[in-house]
Each structure stands twice: as structure tokens, then as C-alpha cells.
Amino acid sequence: MNDTQAKPPRSTPSSSQPRRRQGQAAGRQGQPRAQAPANPVLQQLADWYPQLFGEQPRPLKRGIYADLLAAQPEGLDAEGLKAALALHTRSTRYLSSVAAGQARHDLAGQAVEDMAPEHVLHALLEVHRRRQARSQEDLRPKLRQRIAQAFETSGLSREDYAVLLPSRDPAVQAQFDQALDEAAARAAKDAALHRAYSASGLEPTAFADSYGLPLGEVQRMLERVKRRSQQA
């Protein structure tokens, strides 16, 4: 090489070090974040009562805090248990089980109390809020469907059910009102179809065939009409 030809400049520590740091930072950004450690009390509860605190948690009976302290006096700290239960019952997995209308369960895993309609409604709205915040899909139609189903299951009148709405946000109120409108429309459709079914004297399968309806749709209609009759 000719001595007069310019040589490429050497990389100095000050110029290469930032590049390495940037590369390391980029590598860290591409890696999944480490999950926060699980609450040790909840881990212990899941080992003792997997049917309540496992992967598919069930709603807890009222007074479960006292029951746990009585059942595990040596293994649980009162304050630690209180904090763990607060964390557990605010989790999306737990709220989803409440939103599904599951009954409350005791330490033996037995259903001991129906879930109150206001708790189901509150859980539905909260789970929807969290999921919508993470999704690009418009989940409002699903929310309305779930509210309509919860309303029908509650056995309450529209006026009594409306009192349970925990939010007065106009957007939430609009979805709630539309859901109850849809429930009312379905009830009217069910009543008309049930009158035709009763007048036909046919069995569900034959009635479904004669009206060109899926058998499952007729069976669900009959179940809803029966439930409304029992609630009335």
C-alpha cells in the first residue's frame, strides 16, 4: 500500500462502546420481559386448594378468609392472606369466572351460593374493559350479548336490573341499554315462536324441520321460555 494513501481510522473505545450498548439494548428489547414472580401465598393456596385457586379459579364463598385461617392456622399469616386474596379476586381470570355466573364455592369445592346479579354485571364490565384495552377488535357486540344473557338469567325486571349498573359513563350506559333492548327483542321473538310451537302439537325435531330452523335453536328457545316462566 502506498504510504500516502489514507488509512481507515481506528475505532476508538469511545466510538465502539456506544454501538455495543445500543446493540445490547436492542437485543433486550427483542426479548420477552420476565414475568413478575407469583405471590407465594397464592402459590401455596393453589397447592392446597387447586379446585379454587388453580388454573381455572372458582368464585369464593363469602367469609372464605376466616375459613382459610381456621383451616390453616399454622401455614397462613393473616395480613399476607388478606393481600393475596385481594390480588386474586381482582385478577382477570377470577373475574372471568364471576362474569360467567358461576356459583360461589367453599374450601371443599362445593357450590354454596349463587352469584349475585350485580357481581356478575360488574365483572362483565371490568373484564370487557381490560380485554378491549389489549385488542384491536371491537368487543362491544360480545359485551352486549353477555349482558343480555346475564339479565335473562338474573330473573329481574328491566327496571330492577338497570339499578345494578355500577357505571354512569355514557358509553357504558349506551351499551347496557342496547343489550337490554336486544334481550327484550329476543324474548318477544321467543314468545311468538313458542306460541307457534304450542299450536303445532309437534315435537321439537318435527317443528324445527317444518319451520326450517336448526333443532338447537328451537331447543334453546324452549329452555329460555321455561326459565322465564319459572322466574315469573
pLDDT the model gives residue 37: 55
**What is the distance between the alpha carbons of residues 80 and 149, in angstroms, rounded to a whole number?**
37
Q: Is the pTM of this model over 0.85?
A: no
| Domain membership of residue 101 as a residue range | 39-115
- Per-residue pLDDT tens for 215-229? 999 999 999 999 888
Query: In this structure, is the dihedral angle defined by the CA atoms of residues 215, 218, 224 and 225, taken in order, positive or negative?
Result: negative
> Inter-axis angle of helices 215-231 and 204-211, to 10 degrees?
120
**What is the distance between the alpha carbons of residues 127 and 133, in angstroms, rounded to a whole number?**
10
Number of domains in the chain: 2
Residue 222 lies in a domain: yes
Residue 206 lies in a domain: yes
- Per-residue pLDDT tens for 53-76? 999 999 999 999 999 999 999 999
- Per-residue pLDDT tens for 147-194? 999 999 998 999 999 999 988 899 999 999 999 999 999 999 999 999
Residue 60 is given by DSSP the state B
**What is the distance between the alpha carbons of residues 187 and 191, in angstroms, rounded to a whole number?**
6
Residue 7 is given by DSSP the state P
Residue 32 lies in a domain: no
Query: Which domain CATH number covers 86?
Result: 1.10.1710.10
Bridge partners of 105, per DSSP, are 60, 111
Contact assessment for residue 188 and residue 163, using Cβ atoms and an 8 Å cutoff: no
